[in-house]
Chains A and B, each alone.
Chain A
């Protein structure tokens, strides 16, 4: 009986400690810049490699390039609905893919320099380093040889499409429940299968991570066919965010985020959200940010396991988030067309865990 009372008291004390930690008033992020784009819904934001530009990707009609110093805005017009846009890796060039099978490349002076029409519509696109290859839906196009390579991958609804290194591209099929890694040199393909529909996947270092609708995640080595790690969970996994250089990734479920290290395999941080998580970003300086449906933004230091700051845009679901690793500035794009540049009001933080 005495032991039971002690146990209850201990539980109560732990609960109080946790409560007081979470009730501590978080620091507000400072707003550096804010602009509303009427009739626009942002779905993604991104910093250029040098941090001087922000790419704000709406649902349709145009993508916006914002100078992160003077906040001037240049719009790149497109027709119809956007499939995907982003900076080409290791450059300040931009790719823009629409749902009508067009992919365009824009140079760093924002002049269109290349355009290609794929045989079928797609919903995802990615461009390799040096823009040698363009992946669009299941297709792969070699820009230097000016031709499509091999048979397209038969994934009707891709949960991921990502170049990995200089010679591989990863595609994950939601309905097909498979991840395919395609070798760009000889077109050989390695397939990993899951027991449920794949909602998010990524190639990280020497690993493949695929997460499913029923909430489980599988980790394989690129050379293996059996999972080396399995992460179980109840909620469907919405997003995977990966560290650009280290074998670290984060997964988000409905209202929680967990950060993992792959070498060694370890759970690094758990974050709780107050609402449905709509966006997730992991920066190379060890900062993670998440955006919620109720407009809340949280920014965490993984290394210190500390909340750096929060911000709230009332009733504006945060659909896009990106962190500039050099300045730790955070850009957020909302479903209702607001673009914000935020900055933590602390001296220093971050560092790869």
Chain B
């Protein structure tokens, strides 16, 4: 139902004419890209920008409420501002006039606008704006609250990596119907050492977490004591996330033998939310 409303809105948008508020983005391309993302929300992709936070958020919105996502994009394109629930998004002139490169037009419109509207000090004007593009956990939490999600929790720490118990809680919450956005170090996915920019990437948890091939939930009865269990850290960990335009990216894709201990070194917590 939501999808049919979304497609109808796209068709009406395609039939209208005129250059929108994002004058450097062709309507035809935005239409094509909208159709792709309604069919497959994981195609939302920040490209070569640092907009993984907005990408994770809009991936959740497009998956849960495709018509809301479509209206958000159309309103931004045609009117230069839009709303998702109470979340009002109004990008600045520089963001709207950007000569889009390294990212598809629709994702610049959707992701950069959200980021630019949220930034109180730093404008987000180009894909090279690495600092202004970083999404703080408080911002992601606020986006979910404003857009009508309930029971929104922020369990992150930007400096110190989080423990296994926090990860198991994320797993359990996902099973209870929550949306889980994980804050990690992107070098984990690339198979690189942790490096000196640790908490730099948002992904969406899209599968059960497996420890040694078994669902992680079996470790939950230990509660917080699980962090004291030395045996678990050497076991292999495996699960899938939405990231980089893919719905099912294995966290161990470039590090096949990644262990729980190694993963936790790159794990900085999560923001969870529930669709009301």
Chain B interface bracket (under 10, 10 to 19, 20 to 34, 35 or more): 20 to 34
B4 adjacent to chain A (CB < 8 Å): no
Query: Of A59, A154, A177, A276, which contacts B253 at CB under 8 A?
Result: A154
Flag if B48 contacts A213 (CB, 8 Å).
Answer: yes
Known: A156-B245, A213-B48. A59 touches B29 (CB 8 A): yes
Given A59-B29, A176-B191, A276-B99, does the pair A81, B244 have CB atoms closer than 8 Å? no
Q: Is A338 in the interface zone, CB < 8 Å from B?
A: no
Beta-carbon nearest neighbor of A335 in chain B: B26
Which of B32, B48, B101, B253 is A197 in contact with, Cβ under 8 Å?
B48
- Choose among A156, A176, A278 the residue that contacts B246 (Cβ–Cβ < 8 A): A156
Interface size, chain A (Cβ < 8 Å): 27
Inter-chain CA distance A238–B48, complex, in Å, is 11
Shortest B242–chain A CB gap in Å is 12
Q: With both chains docked as a complex, state the minimum distance between the C-beta of A243 and any C-beta of chain B, in angstroms.
A: 25
Contact B36 A99 (CB under 8 A): yes
Asked if A174 and B245 sit within 8 Å, CB to CB, the answer is no
Does B225 interact with chain A (Cβ within 8 Å)? no
Bound: A41/B253 CA distance, A: 35
Q: Is the CB of B101 within 8 A of A238?
A: yes
Q: Is there an interface contact between B29 and A41, defined as CB atoms closer than 8 Å?
A: yes
Query: Would you call A199 and B244 a contact (CB within 8 A)?
Result: no
CB distance from B159 to the nearest CB of A (A): 24
Flag whether A246 is at the interface (Cβ < 8 A): no
Distance between B87 CB and nearest chain A CB, rounded to angstroms:
28
A157 to B246, CA, bound (A): 10
B99 neighbours in A (Cβ, 8 Å): 276, 293, 317
User: If the complex has contacts A81-B36, A175-B190, A177-B190, are A157 and B48 also in contact, measured as CB distance less than 8 A?
Assistant: yes
Partner of A80, one of B36, B47, B245, B249: B36
Residue B275 at the A interface, CB < 8 A? no
- Cα–Cα, bound, A80→B28 (Å): 12
CB distance from A201 to the nearest CB of B (A): 14
Would you give the 0/1 interface string for B254-268, flagging 1 where the beta carbon is closer than 8 Å to chain A?
Answer: 100000000000000
* B244 engages A157 (CB within 8 Å): yes
Asked if B186 is at the interface (CB within 8 A of a chain A CB), the reply is yes
Report if B189 contacts A (CB, 8 A): yes
Whether A81 pairs with B32 at a CB distance below 8 angstroms is: yes
Residue B234 at the chain A interface, CB threshold 8 Å: no
* Contact assessment for A156 and B249 in the assembled complex, using a CB-CB cutoff below 8 Å: yes
Q: Would you list which residues of chain A between 197 and 234 have a CB under 8 Å from chain B?
A: 197, 199, 213
Q: Which B227-271 residues have C-beta < 8 A from chain A? A: 244-246, 249, 253-254
Chain A residues numbered 171-208 whose CB sits less than 8 Å from any CB in chain B: 173-177, 197, 199
Across the interface, do B26 and A336 meet the contact criterion of CB distance under 8 Å? yes
Alpha-carbon separation in the docked complex, A8 to B32 (Å): 57
Is B192 close to A, CB under 8 A?
Answer: yes
Chain A residues closer than 8 Å to B191, beta-carbon distance: 176
- B138: CB under 8 A from chain A? no
A197 contact set on B, CB distance < 8 A:
48
User: Across the interface, do B28 and A175 meet the contact criterion of CB distance under 8 Å?
Assistant: no
| Complex alpha-carbon distance, A123 and B253, angstroms | 19
Q: Is A236 located at the chain interface by the 8 A CB criterion?
A: yes
Residues of A within 8 A of B189 (CB): 175
Indicate whether B94 reaches chain A with its CB closer than 8 angstroms.
no
Q: How far is the CA of A173 from the CA of B24 in the complex (A)?
A: 28
The answer to whether B190 touches A157 (Cβ under 8 A) is no
Closest to B191 in A: A176
- B212 in the interface, Cβ–Cβ < 8 Å? no
Chain B positions within 8 Å of A174 at CB level:
48
Q: Which residue of A lies closest to B246 (CB)?
A: A156
Q: How far apart are A290's CB and chain B's nearest CB, in angstroms?
A: 15
In angstroms, how far is the closest chain B Cβ from the Cβ of A35?
Answer: 18
B128 within 8 A of A: yes
Q: Mark A87-106, 1 if CB is under 8 A from B, else 0.
A: 00000000000010000000
Residue in contact with B254 in the complex, picked from A39, A41, A99, A154, CB distance below 8 Å = A154
Per-residue contact bits, chain B 45-70, to A (CB 8 Å; 1 contact, 0 not): 10110000000000000000000000
A281 within 8 A of partner (CB): no
By beta carbon, the residue of chain A nearest B36 is A81
Does residue A128 face the partner (Cβ distance < 8 Å to B)? no
Q: Does A60 contact B (CB under 8 A)?
A: yes
Closest-CB distance, A254 to chain B (whole angstroms): 9
- Residues of chain A in range 60-111 having any CB-CB distance to chain B below 8 Å: 60, 80-81, 99
Q: Tell me, in angstroms, the Cα distance from A275 to B225 when the chains sit together.
A: 60
A156 to B244 Cα, complex, angstroms: 7
A236 neighbours in B (Cβ, 8 Å): 128
A112, B86: Cα distance in complex, Å: 51
Q: Which listed residue (A39, A156, A173, A238) contacts B28, Cβ 8 A?
A: A39
B246, A177: Cβ atoms under 8 Å? no
CB pair B32–A59 under 8 Å, yes or no, is yes
Residues of the A chain whose Cβ atoms lie less than 8 Å from the Cβ of B33: 81
A interface residues, Cβ below 8 angstroms from B: 39-41, 59-60, 80-81, 99, 154, 156-157, 173-177, 197, 199, 213, 236, 238, 276, 278, 293, 317, 335-336
9 new A-B contacts at CB < 8 Å, known A276-B99, A278-B101: A60-B32, A81-B33, A156-B246, A156-B249, A173-B190, A175-B189, A176-B254, A197-B48, A317-B99
- B interface list, Cβ under 8 A from A: 24, 26, 28-29, 32-33, 36, 45, 47-48, 99, 101, 128, 186, 189-192, 244-246, 249, 253-254
Listed A/B pairs (17) with beta-carbon separation below 8 Å: A41-B28, A59-B32, A60-B29, A81-B32, A81-B36, A99-B36, A154-B254, A156-B245, A156-B246, A175-B189, A175-B244, A176-B190, A176-B254, A177-B190, A238-B101, A276-B99, A317-B24
List 8 tightest A-B contacts by C-beta distance, closest first: A156-B244, A39-B28, A176-B190, A60-B32, A293-B99, A154-B253, A276-B99, A41-B26
